């Protein structure tokens, strides 16, 4: 709390605040950072192995191997979410599983699984896009702005 808010508290409230602050467990920040790094790094390493698999076995280029690699990572994430494994990994690692594309797939799949009892349209479809809707809208808007800037610069540079 800031000093201004502490001044407004009664002495008993200040005493209770100090009491509760002293007994609050310390968060293992360094351990959490290491776990997040290990989980996120493992997901990225798995993605690299999958990309290399597409490069070596299907003669893809690095540019063309990216899309199937992301698709396989999303599929694995959805399978692990449906089986309940991804949640355990996410609890252990914290933000490490939320950052890559697999975290986004997990959040969409878990919302769909959670609301499946409400039906496919109002349950699965609507709940799944409550989270994804904002990401899609801002992604499309950002792409539009970037394309507008690029087109404007190309028109100005070309004339």
> What total number of domains does the chain contain?
1
- For 133, the token pair is 């809707």
* Euclidean distance between CA atoms 68 and 66, whole angstroms: 6
- Is the pLDDT confidence value at 6 over 60? no
Angle of the 126-158 helix axis to the 101-114 helix axis, nearest 10: 150
Q: pLDDT tens-digit profile of 21-79?
A: 889 988 899 999 999 999 999 999 999 999 999 999 999 999 999 999 999 999 999 99
Give the range of the structural domain holding residue 88, as residue numbers without chain letter: 37-154
Band (pLDDT 50/70/90 cuts) for residue 2 is low
| CA atoms lying within 13 Å on the CB side of residue 103 | 17
User: Bigger pLDDT: 96 or 1?
Assistant: 96
Band (pLDDT 50/70/90 cuts) for residue 88 is very high
Does residue 104 fall inside a structural domain? Answer: yes
Give the distance from CA 40 to its chain's centroid. 11
Residue 52, pLDDT score: 96
User: Bigger pLDDT: 100 or 142?
Assistant: 142
* Euclidean distance between CA atoms 116 and 150, whole angstroms: 42
Residue 35: C-alpha distances to residues 11, 44, 127 (Å): 41, 14, 30
Share of the chain above pLDDT 90, in %: 51
- Is the pLDDT confidence value at 159 over 70? no
Does residue 122 fall inside a structural domain? Answer: yes
Does residue 97 fall inside a structural domain? Answer: yes
Does residue 137 fall inside a structural domain? Answer: yes
Does residue 46 fall inside a structural domain? Answer: yes
Q: Is 98 helix (H, G, I), strand (E, B) or coil?
A: coil
Residue 150, pLDDT score: 94
> Is the alpha carbon torsion for 67, 70, 76, 78 positive or negative?
negative
Band (pLDDT 50/70/90 cuts) for residue 137 is confident
Angle, CA of 138, 101 and 78, to the nearest 5°: 115
* Euclidean distance between CA atoms 69 and 67, whole angstroms: 5
Residue 104, pLDDT score: 82
Does residue 1 fall inside a structural domain? Answer: no
Does residue 41 fall inside a structural domain? Answer: yes
Residue 94, pLDDT score: 87
Does residue 99 fall inside a structural domain? Answer: yes
């Amino acid at each position: 709390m800031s000093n201004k808010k502490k001044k407004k508290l009664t002495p008993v409230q200040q005493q209770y605040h100090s009491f509760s602050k002293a007994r609050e467990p310390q968060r293992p920040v360094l351990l959490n950072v290491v776990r997040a790094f290990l989980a996120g790094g493992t997901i990225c390493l798995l993605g690299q192995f999958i990309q290399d698999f597409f490069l070596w076995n299907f003669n893809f280029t690095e540019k063309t191997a990216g899309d199937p690699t992301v698709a396989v990572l999303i599929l694995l994430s959805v399978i692990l979410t449906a089986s309940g494994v991804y949640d355990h990994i996410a609890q252990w690692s914290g933000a490490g599983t939320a950052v890559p594309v697999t975290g986004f797939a997990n959040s969409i799949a878990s919302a769909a699984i959670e609301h499946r009892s409400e039906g496919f349209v109002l349950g699965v479809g609507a709940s799944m896009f409550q989270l994804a809707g904002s990401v899609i809208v801002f992604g499309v808007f950002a792409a539009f702005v970037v394309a507008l800037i690029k087109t404007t610069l190309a028109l100005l540079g070309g004339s």
